[in-house]
Amino acid sequence: MAESMPLEPTEMEHLQHSTPSGKIIFRNGAFCCLIFLACYWLAWPVTRMGFNDDWSFFRTAQIFAKTGQIAYNGWADPMVGWLIPWGALFIKLFGNSYTAVRLSILPITLLTLLLFHSTLIRFRITPRNAIIGTLTLGLCPLLLPFAASYMTDVPSLFVVVLCLYLCQRAASAETSRLAIFWLLLAGLSNVTGGTTRQAAWLGALVMVPCTGWLLRKNRSVLYASLAIWLASIAAIIACMQWFAQQPFAPQASILPKLPSSVLLGVFDGIFTIDLMAALLLCLLLMIVPVLTIWLPYFGRKFDHYIVLFCMGLLPMVALKYITGSLGVVWPASTLNWELSTQQHSLLGTPQMMQHSLLPVPARILVSVVLLAALLGCIIAVRQKGWKLIQAESPEEVRQLLWLLAPFSLAYGALLILAVQQGLALDKYVFLWMPFAIIASIWLYQRCIRIELPRSSVVLLIVYAAFSVAATHTLFAWHRARFAAIQELRAAGIPSTEIQAGFEFDGWSQIEQSGHVNNRLVKNPPGAYQPPAIKTDLKNLCSYNFLAWAPSLHPKYAVDFGPAACFLPSKFSPVPYTAWLPPFHRDVYILKVPYKMPTVTTP
């Protein structure tokens, strides 16, 4: 086992007092942005159809660009907020297309990387380690494709990272007036920025008051932070009330329904723990380059830890067995990236990849290795001694704890509420990622050595290559689907008779009626119409999305391959090339049986 090497006094002093110049910080941050842009270009994430939920947001931006009015369409819960005029601006500048509006996310992504790099430096992360940490976030298999979409996830990440950066500035301000200025800026920017995705408001609700408490020795700063917090609550309530009054804005409650019996409550608790464990494993997977650095510290010297580790795996395996999810190691994939834990065609309401690189045993092995790395971190910190770490840099530790821990815990509580309603998607780990990356690198510098090992760079390169290949494959699949749709249209088949996944079908629905049929839409009254036909939820041939899109009457389906639910058609498969195996794939155009059951309650 590798030993924790106590830092020499000269190294610790250098770490505490050396700060790169502004020129070096900007140069390194710009370098990270250039690497990201190169990977973005290589992946070529371009398609002329909707991507995940962004077809709904694109429609809202389209209407705003044309009329100056905000019009929702009943699909997604995010308020979208400032992202609407921002996307409309790009429509005005570059044309009315998916590509134009998706380009609006690119500068937001680059600003996020620059801010995150500066945040790492302000936490006394060395320049080399800050580059590795920034690229771990920027080249994540989740962030790269989301940065090429008009989704709200990257903008909300930007809002949280900005709030963290501003709170850092407040915590290190030399005067109380300057500290109050930074806190005020953090509160204002977070309340405004959080309108894009409401979870980002945790910055104003949690991070800002915690920064004020960190600086509580200065009463004026403490009272100012309390005033900012109260004003933020009032502003957020006003925003939520406005959103609730908008036509076709879904109104989802964050409070879970109480179980009807104790037994159901127990089962709900088991499934909640199972899904939260899947989200934790997904988070560990997303920060591989800065997590596996701890693997050498999981070794024989701490035999009792190994025993505890193995004992801890047993209830996890039992939980997976009880819930019937032994093969579902990570949560459902919103992006269909190539480590997808489930395989499904375009039928039904999740839309998932047919191909998966890792079989179930490999996924379990990867997860065990990641958990071992996490335990290695705990072992190394315990060996070093938390009290010694605090003694070496007490102010730094206090700032790290108050800025990172409360937000992470609050976001975890928010995720539990979402998970209790059955919502556990891989993209939910986005707002956890910056905090996990900072904590891992900071602890390594204090417990082991100043610079991360070369293995982290090697893993980062592999990680980036996988992200590029998976993103390219994902968008190549979207382009092949769109080509198949265009072939059907050229044959005179209208969009309402084509079933091609919820992105295309949702767009076809709002083109016909202006909104999807969502039971969460309360305004205007009667907007939601219960489906006239209901089918057995166990029937895999039922197309659940038609409950949301009653204007569609599909006669053709665009699918991964021949399926038992469909019939062959006269149209040839549309081939496309993937950058991950299998490299040669096809999208099929199939006929929908006339008497096929089609609708279930959403």
Kindly report, residue by residue over 501-524, the tens digit of the pLDDT: 889 999 999 999 999 999 999 999
Closest by Cα among 248, 173, 266 to 548: 248
| Residue 432 confidence (pLDDT) | 96
Percent of the chain's residues with pLDDT above 90: 60
| CB 191, CB 236: distance < 8 Å | yes
pLDDT at residue number 16: 55
Predicted pLDDT at 344: 39
Per-residue pLDDT, 351: 39
> HSE-up of 305 (CA within 13 Å, CB side)?
18
Lowest mean pLDDT among 320-329, 438-447, 475-484: 320-329
DSSP 587: E
Q: Identify which has the larger pLDDT, 370 or 362.
A: 370
Cα gap 105→197, rounded to integer Å: 14
What's the pLDDT score for residue 559? Answer: 78
With bands split at pLDDT 50, 70 and 90, how would you rate the model's confidence at 600? very low
Q: What is the mean pLDDT of residues 288-307?
A: 77
Average pLDDT value for residue range 305-321? 62
Q: 578 or 266: whose pLDDT is higher? A: 578
Name the residue with higher pLDDT: 331 or 163: 163
What pLDDT is recorded for position 350?
A: 35
Is the pLDDT higher at 1 or at 479? 479
Least confident span in 263-267, 300-304, 391-395: 300-304
Average pLDDT score over residue span 10-23: 66
Q: Is the pLDDT of residue 231 over 60?
A: yes
Distances (CA, A) of 121 to 28, 196, 389: 11, 27, 19
Res. 598: pLDDT tops 60 = no
Structure tokens at 501: 């996944």
Greater confidence (296 vs 181) lies with: 181
C-alpha 367: how far from its chain's center? 19
Q: Are 57 and 76 in contact (CB under 8 A)?
A: yes
**Average pLDDT along the chain:** 86
Region 289-296: mean pLDDT is 94
Instruction: Give 424's contacts (C-beta < 8 A, 6+ positions apart).
Output: 275, 276, 278, 279, 331, 332, 418
Find, among 219, 188, 220, the residue nearest to 203 by Cα: 188
The single residue listed with the structure tokens 């060996």 is 383
The reported pLDDT for the residue numbered 318 is 61
* pLDDT value at 252 more than 90: no
**Model pLDDT, residue 317:** 63
| pLDDT, greater one: 3 or 258 | 258
Q: Which helix (H) or strand (E) holds 589?
A: strand 584-591
DSSP-assigned beta bridge partners for residue 557: 499, 590
pTM: 0.92
So what's the pLDDT on residue 343? 41
Mean pLDDT score, 75-92 = 94
The Cα 55–Cα 58 span in angstroms is: 5
Q: Take residue 537 and report the two structure tokens written for it.
A: 């939820």
Averaged pLDDT for residues 141-159 = 95
What does the pLDDT read at residue 564? Answer: 64
The residue-averaged pLDDT of 303-326 equals: 60
Per mean pLDDT, which range of 115-129, 197-211, 225-239, 548-562 is the poorest? 548-562
For the segment 425-436, the average pLDDT, to the nearest whole number, is 94
Query: In which band, very low, low, confident or very high, does the pLDDT at 352 lie, cut at 50, 70 and 90?
Result: very low
In sequence order, the β-bridge partners of residue 574 are: 587
Phi, psi of 339 (to 5 degrees): -100, 25
In angstroms, the CA 515 to CA 339 distance is 33
Q: Output the CA–CA distances (angstroms, integers) from residue 184 to 163, 166, 225, 227, 319, in the order listed.
A: 10, 9, 8, 10, 45
Q: What is the pLDDT of residue 276?
A: 87
> Which pLDDT score is estimated for 335?
55
Average pLDDT over residues 431-459: 95
